[in-house]
Amino acid sequence: MGVPLIQSYRVGRYILAQKLRGRRRYPLVLMLEPLFRCNLACAGCGKIDYPDETLDRRLSVDECIGAAEECGAPIVSIAGGEPLIHKDMPAVVAGLVKRKRFVYLCTNALLLKKRMEDYQPSPYLTFSVHLDGNEHRHDESVCQPGTYQRAAEAIREAVAKGFRVTVNCTLFQGEGAEEVASFLDDCKALDVEGVTISPGFNYERAPQQEVFIQRRASRQLFRDIFRIGKERKAKWTFNQSSLFLDFLAGNQNYQCTPWGNPTRNIFGWQKPCYLLVSEGYAQSFNELMETTPWDKYGVGVNGKCDQCQVHSGFEPTAVNDTFIHPLRALKVALLGPRTEGPMAPDMPVSPPPQGPSHPVFPLRVER
């Protein structure tokens, strides 16, 4: 089981309470980005090319805690940039844990061994370590050799000290099913709690658009990965819902739920999600929920969204479907995603915008 019972219970209770109140839109995970500064320059990242005056900005402890209180989501995913660079991050984490928020501290782990003593093991704290595939793939993705081994060493030390540790993996163009399956075997050997996995999305600020896998190819890739897992009886553990994994394998036809994982960063509350950076910002969570034109986003609705299958948008949809169809979710959890037969019809892509002032997305940027 990829998620501890206490977290499953508290999150389930929260979702049930929202449904009983008749709320159509509610947050599940707060995506907190207290800084954009990072100690890596990854090929698929659009944060580190901001000017220095932006990279030097930080959300304060009070702003981070206030965002969690304002939003009310039971889970807070702290990303960046690299959160461990933030000198006040231990105080931010301690404040969220005190309020019994489940914190996923996302890190490339280059600073993890050095900063580990600043944190205490807790069922409410998880180090979510980025590993984008095996050693060769990961080091190529982050554009710095040796990072995979340093991250693996930090994971082993954190697990040995009793911390919850997960791996966050983004798959890019050119990766094969056998290669990914071997990587998942390696994650299992590291004894992490689970793996969060999804295909990369060619969002606007990413400097290298050609590294991203397209939606149709992604569905077949995940089918092949899960088929290999069944053949090997690998028993990989994922930190995701069974129906989201089934969606990745092309067996579910979901639309995005962007308000499920709202983003608060140094500019404000980002509309509609952390991947679309040109849609504007709200100054409060209520303003975000009330003024964002949610119906204008999604696969087949907005050309910017057509290739997206990222967990931050589709996992909330799958979780909601789990509550509606619990037996279906249980079946997939027990048997794994279906890897043969026809796929669910995919959402039709949106027609290209007309006129010279509306460029067709995704944009391609050559090296």
DSSP letters, 49-74, are TS-HHHHT----HHHHHHHHHHH--S
Which token pair is 238?
A: 């994922």
CB-based contact 261:316 (threshold 8 Å): yes
Residue 243 located in a structural domain: yes
Residue with tokens 């600043």: 118
Q: Which two tokens stand for residue 303?
A: 């050309």
Does residue 36 lie within any of the structural domains?
A: yes
Q: Are 30 and 264 in contact (CB under 8 A)?
A: yes
Q: Does 98 fall in a domain?
A: yes
pLDDT > 70 fraction of the chain, expressed in percent and rounded? 89
Mean pLDDT of 192-201: 88
Quote the DSSP letter at residue 235. Answer: -
CATH code of the domain in which 276 resides: 3.20.20.70
If you average pLDDT over residues 152-167, what whole number do you get? 97
User: In the chain, how many domains are there?
Assistant: 1
Please, what is the average pLDDT of the chain? 89
User: Does the residue 366 lie in any domain?
Assistant: no
Any domain includes 308: yes
Average pLDDT over residues 138-165: 94
Residues 302 and 273: beta-carbon distance below 8 Å: no
Residue 345 is assigned to a structural domain of this protein: no
DSSP 3-state of 334: helix
* Residue 107, beta-bridge partner list: 129
Asked if the model's pLDDT at residue 54 lies above 60, the reply is yes
pLDDT for the residue numbered 352: 52
Q: Can you give the residue range of the structural domain that contains 32? A: 5-335
Query: pLDDT tens-digit profile of 31-41?
Result: 999 999 998 87
More confident residue, 100 or 367: 100
The Cα 98–Cα 110 span in angstroms is 26
| pTM (2 d.p.) | 0.90
Cβ 41 vs Cβ 82: under 8 Å: no
Residue 141: left (phi > 0), alpha (psi -120 to 50), or beta?
Answer: alpha
pLDDT per residue over 261-290, tens digit each?
Answer: 999 999 999 999 988 888 999 999 999 999
- Residue 217 pLDDT grade (very low, low, confident, very high; cuts 50, 70, 90): confident
Domain membership of residue 362 (yes or no) is no
- Residue 354 scores a pLDDT above 60: no
How many helices (H) does the chain have, and how many strands (E)? 13, 9
Is residue 17 included in any domain, yes or no? yes
* pLDDT of 203 over the 70 cut: no
